[in-house]
Amino acid sequence: MHSLTAMARVYIETYGCQMNEADSQYIADRALAAGYSLAQRPEEANVVILNTCTVRDNAERRAYGRVHHLKLLKERDPAMRLVVTGCLAEQDRDRMQRLAPHVDAVFGTKELAQLGDRLGAWRTEYDALRIVDDAHLASEEFLREPFGGKADGIAGAFSHLRAFVTVQRGCSYYCTFCIVPHVRGRFDHRPMDAIVSEVRTSVERGAREVMLVGQTVNAWRDAASGADFGDLCRALTDPERLTFISPHPKDFSETMIRALAGVPSMNPRVHLPLQSGSDLILRRMNRKYTRAAFMERVEWIRRYLPHWAVTTDIIVGFPGESEDDFAQTLEIVESGVFANAFTFIYSQRRGTPAARWEQIPHAVVAERFRRLVDAQNAVTQAYHASKTGKVSRCLIVGTSKKDETKLAAKSGDNVTVIAPKPTGYDEGEYARTPWLDIEVEASHLWGCTGRVVRRAERVNEEGLAVARPPVNLLLLSSRA
Ligand code: SF4
């Protein structure tokens, strides 16, 4: 069964890093300007865009899996267009047409403006065009995210509260494991004026938190004035909260960290990718810092930003990693430096030097990975437990994905906090007063749970007291 739609719709599914989130936001803005609305599900859209990632082998496999699943949707609705963009599109431009001929268009990471133009050109074709509205189709498993993990549609009642602003594209550092410089090109820093103006526009459109995004964001320089990343952060006075991802340890100077301490809107968290605790492996990775230099930056953070959380990325099983090299990484993790860590097993990427080197047996890597995860989990648990009994000011994310009676929110140090929806909860009202004070009652490995005690319009306001949700008597009696 089909229905008519008056407005063309685009669905954007995003995989991978915040760079891709920022690119998806740009695509969404161009689509909205061209007269599309944003669909919540692929089967409701005229144009389905997969913004892909290829940073690890499983990301690439997931992207191809999703492309193949969506073939069924194209067969049901031939007018629907399937577009692939992002790093996989850049890497596999020719190969993709061969592997997935049902894909209508492929746009590399530097061709997003052309994608925006193309959306505009397609727009008129979709006026009052039929879209699939088939109850059977809508219930099919294949349209859900088929492999679990992170892939988000961009539409949402609270999505305007957070904005990604790209300050720099590409990377010239050529870490030997990384595909990014090969698919996104060398450093390209945006001018300061353009960034300041985009941040201001985002805030005018409702953003409460702005995330500055770049592959090595703190390497940013303004070619005209010579301003560095610390100067840029100080110049951005519009957002209620400011945050950034992903800095490179090499590009943090003591002066820059002191400058960040002078920006009151800055979220109290810095992501500092360690990758390895061994100098030998850091050299093989071409990371451009030593273990001592990394720890010096941690010391500066402790000195000037004592309440900030430090999070990190770590790769286990990089070619040549001995048990002693791994022990040096584990030692740093066990010392409790990191509030949280993204831990990865090394993944060979085509075209990178490390992919050609002798690999470590999988069983060895898996065993090291387990030890590393166990060590970091203990630290993360303790960090989350330290929030119990305290009130945390969080920015609302929306209804919890696992329980629609609850809200999800994020604290400034990027911890997920879940709480029951307060009595009289109204989505529109909470979008206007999105700052929640949540009293943390329990901690978990993934974050915290608690109850909303206040909500505020502005981050620095005290806000209104919130009524407790009604007690669930059935639940109480079942516990008795
Ligand atoms: S710094 Fe290294 S890991 Fe980061 S994007 Fe550049 S090459 Fe990749």
Site to substitute for ligand 1 among 90, 183, 216, 220, most atoms within 8 A of C-beta:
216
Cα–Cα distance for residue pair 250/219, rounded to 1 Å: 9
Architecture of the domain whose range is 391-479: Beta Barrel (2.40)
Cα distance between the two ends of the chain: 50
Q: How far is the CA of 440 from the centre of ligand 1 (A)?
A: 36
**Who's near 49: CB < 8 A, 6+ residues apart?**
10, 11, 12, 13, 24, 27, 83, 84, 85, 115
- Between CA 15 and CA 22, with CA 19 as vertex, the angle to 5 degrees is 90
* Among 416, 406, 419, 408, CA closest to 383: 416
Listed range (83-92, 134-143, 207-216) with the worst mean pLDDT? 134-143
Residue matched to tokens 């997969």? 50
pLDDT tens, 270-321? Answer: 999 999 999 999 999 999 999 999 999 999 999 999 999 999 999 999 999 9
Query: Above 90 in pLDDT, residue 3?
Result: no
2-153 homologous superfamily: Methylthiotransferase, N-terminal domain (3.40.50.12160)
User: How does residue 472 score in pLDDT terms, banded at 50, 70 and 90?
Assistant: low
Are the beta carbons of 13 and 150 closer than 8 angstroms? no
Can you tell me whether residue 425 is helix, strand or coil? coil
Report which of residues 390 and 72 the model is more confident about: 390
Pick among 3.90.15.10, 3.80.30.20, 3.30.930.10, 3.40.50.720: CATH of 159-385:
3.80.30.20
pLDDT tens, 104-115? Answer: 999 988 889 999
> What local confidence, expressed as pLDDT, does residue 294 receive?
98
Please report, to the nearest 10 degrees, the dihedral formed by the alpha carbons of residues 139, 142, 143, 149 taken in order.
Answer: 120
Query: Above 70 in pLDDT, residue 343?
Result: yes
Site to substitute for ligand 1 among 53, 109, 178, most atoms within 8 A of C-beta:
178
Parallel/antiparallel/unpaired status of strands 309-316 and 340-345: parallel
Q: Work out which ligand 1 atom sits closest to the CA atom of 174.
A: 7
CA nearest ligand 1 atom 8, residue: 178
Average pLDDT value over all residues in the chain: 89
Question: Which residues line ligand 1 at a C-beta cut-off of 6 Å?
Answer: 171, 173-175, 178, 180-181, 215-216, 248
Cα–Cα distance for residue pair 475/75, rounded to 1 Å: 47
pLDDT tens, 212-222? Answer: 999 999 999 99
Cα–Cα distance for residue pair 248/220, rounded to 1 Å: 11
Q: How far is the CA of 282 from the centre of ligand 1 (A)?
A: 13
Site to substitute for ligand 1 among 87, 172, 175, most atoms within 8 A of C-beta:
175
* Among 397, 437, 388, 395, CA closest to 152: 397
| Average pLDDT for 7-33 | 90
* Among 263, 247, 207, CA closest to 395: 207
User: How does residue 140 score in pLDDT terms, banded at 50, 70 and 90?
Assistant: very low
Domain ranges of the chain: 2-153, 159-385, 391-479
User: How does residue 142 score in pLDDT terms, banded at 50, 70 and 90?
Assistant: very low
Q: How far is the CA of 175 from the centre of ligand 1 (A)?
A: 5
Are the beta carbons of 183 and 356 closer than 8 angstroms? no
Residue 70 DSSP label: T
Q: How far is the CA of 276 from the centre of ligand 1 (A)?
A: 14
Helix boundaries (H) for 286-361:
291-304, 323-334
Q: How far is the CA of 75 from the centre of ligand 1 (A)?
A: 39
Cα–Cα distance for residue pair 60/355, rounded to 1 Å: 15
Q: How far is the CA of 170 from the centre of ligand 1 (A)?
A: 9
H/E element, 173: none
Q: Work out which ligand 1 atom sits closest to the CA atom of 179.
A: 8
Please state the pTM of the whole predicted model.
0.83
Query: Above 90 in pLDDT, residue 150?
Result: no
Listed range (334-338, 379-383, 423-427) with the worst mean pLDDT? 423-427
Q: How far is the CA of 215 from the centre of ligand 1 (A)?
A: 7
Q: Work out which ligand 1 atom sits closest to the CA atom of 215.
A: 5
> What local confidence, expressed as pLDDT, does residue 473 receive?
56
Q: What percent of the chain has pLDDT over 90?
A: 69
Residue matched to tokens 């065993």? 367
| Average pLDDT for 67-92 | 89
Residue matched to tokens 């739609």? 5
